Structure 1
Amino acid sequence: MVTNLYFVRHAHSAYSADELNRPLPERGQADAQKITELLIHENIHVLLSSPYKRAIQTIEGLAGPLGLELVLEEDFRERLLSSGPVSNFGQAITKVWENPSFAWEGGESNLVAQSRGVRALHRVLQHYKGSNAVIGTHGNIMVLIMNALDKRYDYGFWKQLDMPDIYKLSFNGDTLTGVQRIWNRS
């Protein structure tokens, strides 16, 4: 029995220190509408999202037309890089990818965040076996989950992601059987 998980990296949102409530601006809202139009025809059974507003707003347009309730899944939230702002995001993120056990003060290492994300993945695979589920999430945690399944999905892969982006992961039980990118900005 095949389970398809459509991991949706949230649409563009302007940076703010309020990670939980950061909304989508006009450009992000326009992309969220495109995602709704793209996924509405994918026979979706379940909508799950990180509790972060930008992830919710990216996929919530599917709820009404599909008659589905959006379920929040805390463990699909973005990885916490540090307890406060970092002076150079590029250097900070590179360091945690180069050393998976390293964590900035108050932040999650790649290993800790990946473990959290993979636990959530396995809960979804068990609870929604045989379903097509859309998961509103974030780039770093999405790639960390994918990396646990296939090491090709690494820092270089993360750097080339679009915002938003969509990857369909197909599973037979807990075994990954296919990955397909289904987002095209144009």
Structure 2
Amino acid sequence: MKTNVYLVRHSHSIYTSDELGRPLSEKGFSDSAKITEILSKEKIDVFLSSPYLRAVQTIQGAAGHFGKEVELMEGFKERHLTSEPAEDFSLAIRKVWEDWHFSWEGGESNLAAQERGVSELMKVLEKQGGKNIAIGTHGNIMVLIMNHFDGRYDFSFWEQLKMPDVYCLSFDGSRFAGAKRMMD
């Protein structure tokens, strides 16, 4: 039974300290139209998303195209890096990718975040197997999930990821069969 999972990294958002309610920027809304165009060609059966507003807003147009609702799933929210904003984000993110067991105070290690994301994905595959599934999510957790299936998806890959971006992961049952970028 073949299942396609379209992992959608959210579009550009307006920075606020409210991670949950941070909305898309004007550019983000404009770019989300491209996501709707891409996904509208893929006959998506199910729309899932991180509970963060920017992830939901990125796939909402495509869900509307198919007359579907977006179901929120905690496991696809972005990895929590630190309890307080990092003084040097580049250093903070590089450190957790260099040492997968390391976590900043109040944050998740790569291993913990990956385990959370993969566990959620496996539940989705079990429940929604054989369907085309779009998941609105975030760059770090998206790459950590992809890395579980193929080590080529690493820190360097994350650094070149676009905002928004879409990768289709194909599964035969729960066995990973490959990934393909959907954006131009």
Does the TM-score normalized on the shorter chain lie above 0.5?
yes
Structure 2-normalised TM-score?
0.98
Q: Is 1:93 aligned with 2:93?
A: yes
Q: CA deviation at 1:33?
A: 1.0
Paired residue for 1:140?
Answer: 140
Letter in 2 for 1:75: G
Q: Helix, strand or coil: the match of 2:24? A: coil
1:77 and 2:74 aligned = no
> 1:43 matched to which residue of 2?
43
In structure 1, distance between residues paired with 2:168 and 2:63: 19
Q: Write out the 4+ residue segments of structure 1 that deviate beyond 2 Å after TM superposition.
A: none
Q: CA deviation at 1:62?
A: 1.6
Deviations 1:39-75 (A, max 9, x none): 1110110000000000000000122220111110111
SS of 1:47's partner is strand
Tell me the amino acid that sits aligned with residue 68 of structure 1: K
Identity across matched positions, percent: 58
Q: Which residue of 1 aligns with 2:106?
A: 106
Paired with 1:35 and 1:58, the residues of 2 have a C-alpha distance of 7
Q: 1:158 maps to what in 2? A: 158
Hey, what's the Cα distance between the residues in 2 that align with 1:14 and 1:98?
A: 29
Where do 1:17-32 residues align within 5 Å? 17-32=17-32
Aligned to 1:13: 13
Q: TM-score, normalised by structure 1?
A: 0.97
Q: Which runs of 5+ in 1 are unaligned?
A: none
SS in 2 for 1:48: strand
| Structure 2: 5+ residue stretches without partners | none
Query: How many residues end up aligned between the 2 structures?
Result: 184
Name the structure 2 match of 1:119.
Answer: 119
